[in-house]
Structure 1
Amino acid sequence: MEKNKQNSQKKFSYRQEFFSFCLGIFVIALLIQILGKAKGNPLVFPDIFEICRAFFRLMITPKTYQCILTTLLHLVTALILSFLAGILTGIAQGASSFLRKTLAPLMIMLRSIPVIVLVVIIMLLTDYSKVPYIASTLVLIPVISEAVCEGFLNIDKDLIDVYRLNSSFSPRILFSVYLPLMTGFLRQAFINTIGMGMKIIVSSEYLVQTKNSLGKAIYSSSYFNDYQDIYAYALIMILTGILLTKLPIFIIKKVTEN
């Protein structure tokens, strides 16, 4: 009886969340319509129905999926590299107050530097094809590092003392003790990096003209004044980000419940 009640509450929560999300999309569409009417420029602010037509047209175009795949490969590469570097630097900062203070200026610089400046610097140092994931990796490392460091500092010290009685610090202890205790911080860092990483990568692709990418597609649309396509690509990016954020968490919840 109690289990059925919990399941019904979860279903209601999912429906409420879905309704709220749809309401948010409606508000965005309404704002675009209001801005279009206020500006009086249908070229820059096209009708919402025109944007929807452009969206569905792009969704049945094979090249759109090629662009999405290119951008996703850049994003996945950046996430893997930034999480590896961020976890190592975060644990190092959490374990050592000296390292935390020493690396603080570098982390602040990477987090604060304008993307366009960072992209230009990387363009001068390496091949254009590597710019999107290098730029996004450098910007995402501080986000992950800060979350890991915060999680490390918030671990119950009694639990740390227990494992120290039986073993010294090792990779096995890292993966079996530290990281599981920092799951909440890592999950939040993952959610934050998806949207931020997508924006940085698409901006980088736009600046370096990465072939068959969302950034290049947006550049082409702006060059030909196809603003309805730009809004449609923005919608595709939002939906892709939501899918990448929600799907892994949903799968993990289902696996743990079963």
Structure 2
Amino acid sequence: MKTSTTEVNNPRESHNKKIGISISTGVLVLIWHLGAVALNKPFILPTPLETLKAAGILLKDLDFFKALVGTLGRVLIVTFISTCLGILMGMLSGKFRFIDYLLAPLMLLIKTIPTIVLIVYVVLWMSGYWAPVFVTVLITFPVIYGNVLEGYRNIDKKLLEMAHVFRLSRFKTLSQITIPSIKPYIQSGVLTIASLSLKVVIASEVLSQTKDSMGRSFQIARINIETQTVLALALVTVGLALVLEYVSRWLLGRMK
């Protein structure tokens, strides 16, 4: 959160950031174009222009918008569940060490097991709609949980002692000390899972063949060897991730 504040208060830094990102993006697109021209095999690597044309076709397709809305809906569901569950369990683990010890093996398993293994296993016994949601919650919940737990442990003990001395109620202690202290950690976690959720949801949709999903669109394009459509879908995914991050930052900024 400190970084965003610095950028807002320092116009020159913000300007330099925009220039740096523009130059880097331009160089990457140029390398992509030169590579595609040198290879001269559009079915392996189409040019940026061919990819943009494919993206334009996608944006005119009603079925694609249904897929986009379906995927976005699952991402929002995941973000809501992971945030609420992560805050609740993180605070409980911070207050009661025993709960932290109980959850430690589960957190270790989720962090160490490859994501693809979780996806394949869950798809075997869960419906196409809920499999991506369940898998992504498993992947993103530990992020919020870990942030909240760290924030809870870093609460200024003097503030808690002051609350005890002045005999503040549990509700006032929670609302005036605990929540404000862990809010930056929650915000950081939400920003992290905003784009992570999108990537894991789409990967899960590909394997579960979820109806009305971007993952299914990726799979169909891959089967038909429509490489330009695959890259166009990737560009749309990047754009959607940027929008999600921007909206998340805006909403979290309004919460200050």
Shorter chain as denominator, the TM-score bin is 0.7 to 0.9
**Cα distance, 1:60–1:10 mapped onto 2, change above 3 Å:** farther
TM-score scaled by structure 1? Answer: 0.85
Correspondence list, 1:204-243, <5 A: 204-243=204-243
Residue equivalent to 1:126: 126
1:182 CA drift (Å): 1.8
List runs of 5+ in structure 1 lacking aligned partners. Answer: 1-5
- Identify the residue that residue 105 of structure 2 maps to in structure 1: 105
* In 1, Cα distance between equivalents of 2:95 and 2:8: 44
Alignment of 1:100-249 (within 5 A): 100-165=100-165, 166-170=167-171, 173-249=173-249
- Counterpart secondary structure, 2:142: helix
In structure 2, what residue type is equivalent to 1:250?
W
Aligned-CA RMSD value? 2.6
What SS does structure 2 have at the residue aligned with 1:155? coil
Q: Give TM-score, length-normalised by structure 2.
A: 0.86
Structure 1: how far apart are the matches of 2:158 and 2:19?
43
Contact 2:87 2:186 (C-alpha < 8 Å) held by counterparts: no
Q: Which runs of 5+ in 2 are unaligned?
A: 1-5
Identical-residue share of aligned pairs (%):
24
Q: Aligned residue for 1:32? A: 32
Q: Aligned AA for 2:117?
A: V
Structure 1 Cα separation of the partners of residues 57 and 163 of structure 2: 57
User: Aligned with 1:43: secondary structure?
Assistant: coil
Contact 1:33 1:45 in 2 (8 A): no
Write the distance in 2 (CA, Å) between the matches of 1:197 and 1:152: 24
Cα shift at 1:51? 1.0
Instruction: Name the stretch that deviates more: 6-15 or 115-124.
Output: 6-15
The number of residues matched between the two structures is 250
Match of 1:20? 20
Instruction: Describe the shift of the 1:95–1:8 C-alpha distance in structure 2 as closer, same or farther (beyond 3 A).
Output: closer
Q: Cα distance, 1:20 vs. partner? A: 2.9
Deviates more, 1:186-195 or 1:33-42: 33-42
Residue by residue, what CA displacement relative to the aligned partner does 1:31-87 show, whole Å, maximum 9, x if unpaired?
433543565533121111111211222223333222111011100111111111111
